[in-house]
Amino acid sequence: MKKRILSMFLLAIPMLTFAQEKGLDQQIDEAFGNATGWFVDIIFYQIPFTDTISIYWVLFPLILGAMYFTFYFNFINFKGFFTSINIVRGKYDDLEERLNHKVEISKSKFSDEEDNPDTIRIEGHEGEVSHFQALTAALSATVGLGNIAGVAIAVSIGGAGATFWMIIAGFLGMASKFVECTLGVKYRDIEEDGTVYGGPMYYLTKGLKNKTLGKILAGLFAIFVIGGSFGGGNMFQVNQAFQLVQNITGGSESVLAGKGWLFGLVMAILVGIVIIGGIKKIAKVTDKIVPFMVAIYVGAALFVIFANYNMIGDAFSQIFNGAFSPEGIAGGAVGVLVQGFRRAAFSNEAGIGSASIAHSAVKTKYAASEGMVALLEPFIDTVVVCTMTALVLIITGNVTAENASLNDAQAILLTSGAFESAISWFPYVLTIAVVLFAFSSMISWSYYGFQGWVFLFGRSKKMEYTYKVIFCIFVVIGAAASLGSVIGFSDAMVFAMMVPNMIGLIILAPKVKEELSKYMTAIKSR
């Protein structure tokens, strides 16, 4: 299989080179944009609020849903925080052993599974990865370029005050992650060989009483997650990583100039090696990469912050005052709030449903235990990493209106320059971190897309390898071509995932409450 994938890569190289010389990628991009522009316009439609402020409609269900879950679950995002940390540490692993013992006793009382299907179903929930591995696999898909480039754009438009609302949105998003990941474990499928299939596709079809509605919503989600995996979770990641690598090695004079296909080929081979092994192999990689890259990035940010310790107080003052008395160009307090919420929602993907796919593979018999673990994601991604980036930018004086028009590639360089002002060699480290961010995002998103693919086309090995080969080819294309409309369409598909997912989350929230009560009772009875 590996030889077949390599052969397809080699065949794709001359095609990509020809495409670049003839500008075929631009022609494809324009044609694709004309065909799909209507969909992108719908998903990213902005509702006019004032003369200067427009709000993406997708933010309303994401933020309002997060607020609803925060209240409905009695502030689980705050009250459950330390319990979540203890679960990751393994403090409650003995609960799994106790349940195993109870299941064995229950099995002996029944002659066949049909007499007590719930008890037997619980026994089958083994999973493939640990709580920590599931967390890092999901984090690897969210912690990335948005935390570096997106924050720079947000604070440039909304001023330092956007950071405050970004933090608030991050805390609220913890509740949404808790709900969707609890459902992901509760309604997952486990094959006889232990392979797990989970995510919104399954809790929509199995959880909703209206089976027709459930199948329609699940099918839409599967289509959207496949599209998102090829673009935003693949092409965009490798394209931006290549741009930064090319810049750090000389820009237009770099030896890599015009050789995006070569960078893409190397990345595709590395991605292929990992994703062929499935979620277990992905988790083994992410549980090493994610802590490493987050530690490096946050450590460097703290160095910059404490190197300018005399400015820390002023930075927090700007963040708090700017949240209510804005000085950015967003157009008042609402504009600042919108920028903060927008960046948080686009960064941690709470409510999108993607993370529940990774968390579904966890080894647990209590669905709510993984929901508790998942609520740490927005905290790490948004409250910690995004805030660190914002503080560095504020302290180094890089929050200016002139930077509001930057694109992601330019914004990464802005953030790099901010770190460089305190750590001269950090741009090289940041380049490595960005490549790791991109790589880890791609391998996790390949798993998300794969789950949608097999839901639609079946779980055969042929379908599995077909998807994975296509995914790896898109890595090469993403690095070599300028397909803005393709990536824009893919991003729209990512946020379109929110529509079927949020409908399911609201309807199934009572089921999550039952699972939470069951798990908290088990913890108290230890």
Vertex 61 angle, CA 55 and 65, to 5°: 135
Distance from first CA to last CA of the chain, Å, rounded? 48
Distance CA 182, CA 207 (A): 12
pLDDT for position 14: 53
pLDDT for position 100: 54
State the average pLDDT over residues 387-392.
Answer: 87
Whether the per-residue pLDDT at 295 is higher than 80: the answer is yes
Whether the per-residue pLDDT at 169 is higher than 90: the answer is no
pLDDT for position 233: 81
Q: Which of 19-23, 351-355, 425-429 has the lowest mean pLDDT?
A: 19-23
Question: pLDDT: is 25 or 104 the higher one?
Answer: 25
pLDDT for position 222: 94
483 with 26: CB under 8 angstroms? Answer: no
Whether the per-residue pLDDT at 19 is higher than 80: the answer is no
pLDDT band at 501 (very low <50, low <70, confident <90, very high): very high
Q: How many other β-carbons are positioned within 10 Å of the β-carbon of residue 458?
A: 10
Whether the per-residue pLDDT at 122 is higher than 70: the answer is no
Share of the chain above pLDDT 90, in %: 16
Distance CA 444, CA 133 (A): 12
State the average pLDDT over residues 503-518.
Answer: 93
pLDDT band at 69 (very low <50, low <70, confident <90, very high): very high
Question: pLDDT: is 124 or 183 the higher one?
Answer: 183
Residue type, 156: S
SS3 189: strand
pLDDT for position 57: 84
Question: pLDDT: is 431 or 481 the higher one?
Answer: 431
pLDDT for position 437: 82
Tokens of 103: 């299941």
Helices 461-480 & 211-230, crossing angle to 10 degrees?
A: 40
pLDDT for position 56: 79
Tokens of 369: 């235990």
Identify the bridge partners of residue 196 per DSSP, sorted by sequence position: 190
Q: Which residue bears the tokens 């001269």?
A: 424
Q: Give start and end residues of each alpha helix (H) in 364-497.
A: 367-374, 376-378, 387-395, 408-420, 426-457, 461-480, 484-496
pLDDT for position 120: 37
Identify the bridge partners of residue 48 per DSSP, sorted by sequence position: 54
pLDDT for position 438: 84
pLDDT for position 7: 55
194 conformational bin, left if phi > 0, alpha if psi -120 to 50, beta if neither? left
Q: How many other β-carbons are positioned within 10 Å of the β-carbon of residue 111?
A: 7
pLDDT for position 12: 53
Give me the DSSP letters along 78-110.
HHTHHHHHHHHHTTTHHHHHHHHHHHHHHHHT-
Whether the per-residue pLDDT at 216 is higher than 90: the answer is yes
Distance CA 305, CA 307 (A): 5
Share of the chain above pLDDT 70, in %: 77
Distance CA 196, CA 467 (A): 17
* Sign of the alpha-carbon dihedral angle for 68, 70, 72, 73: positive
Whether the per-residue pLDDT at 105 is higher than 60: the answer is no
State the average pLDDT over residues 91-113.
Answer: 56
Distance CA 168, CA 170 (A): 5
Mean of all residue pLDDT scores within the chain: 79
Distance CA 321, CA 327 (A): 9
Distance CA 490, CA 239 (A): 14
Give me the DSSP letters along 196-247.
EE-SHHHHHHHH-S-HHHHHHHHHHHHHHHHHHHHIIIIIHHHHHHHHHHHH
State the average pLDDT over residues 494-504.
Answer: 90
Question: 473: burial class by Cβ within 10 Å (0-12, 13-18, 19+)?
Answer: buried
State the average pLDDT over residues 383-398.
Answer: 85
Tokens of 184: 């992901």
**CA–centroid distance for 20 within its chain:** 31
State the average pLDDT over residues 283-305.
Answer: 83
State the average pLDDT over residues 143-163.
Answer: 75
For residue range 436-470, list pLDDT tens digits in order: 888 888 888 898 999 999 999 988 888 888 999 99
Question: pLDDT: is 145 or 166 the higher one?
Answer: 166
Tokens of 43: 């998903």
Question: pLDDT: is 524 or 501 the higher one?
Answer: 501
pLDDT for position 206: 92
Q: How many other β-carbons are positioned within 10 Å of the β-carbon of residue 193?
A: 5
Distance CA 98, CA 389 (A): 43
Question: 381: burial class by Cβ within 10 Å (0-12, 13-18, 19+)?
Answer: buried
Q: How many other β-carbons are positioned within 10 Å of the β-carbon of residue 39?
A: 15
Whether the per-residue pLDDT at 167 is higher than 90: the answer is no
Tokens of 163: 């950071």
pLDDT for position 10: 53
The pTM of the full predicted model, rounded to 2 decimals, is: 0.83
For residue range 170-215, list pLDDT tens digits in order: 898 899 999 999 999 999 988 887 788 889 999 999 999 888 999 9
364 with 171: CB under 8 angstroms? Answer: no
pLDDT for position 422: 78
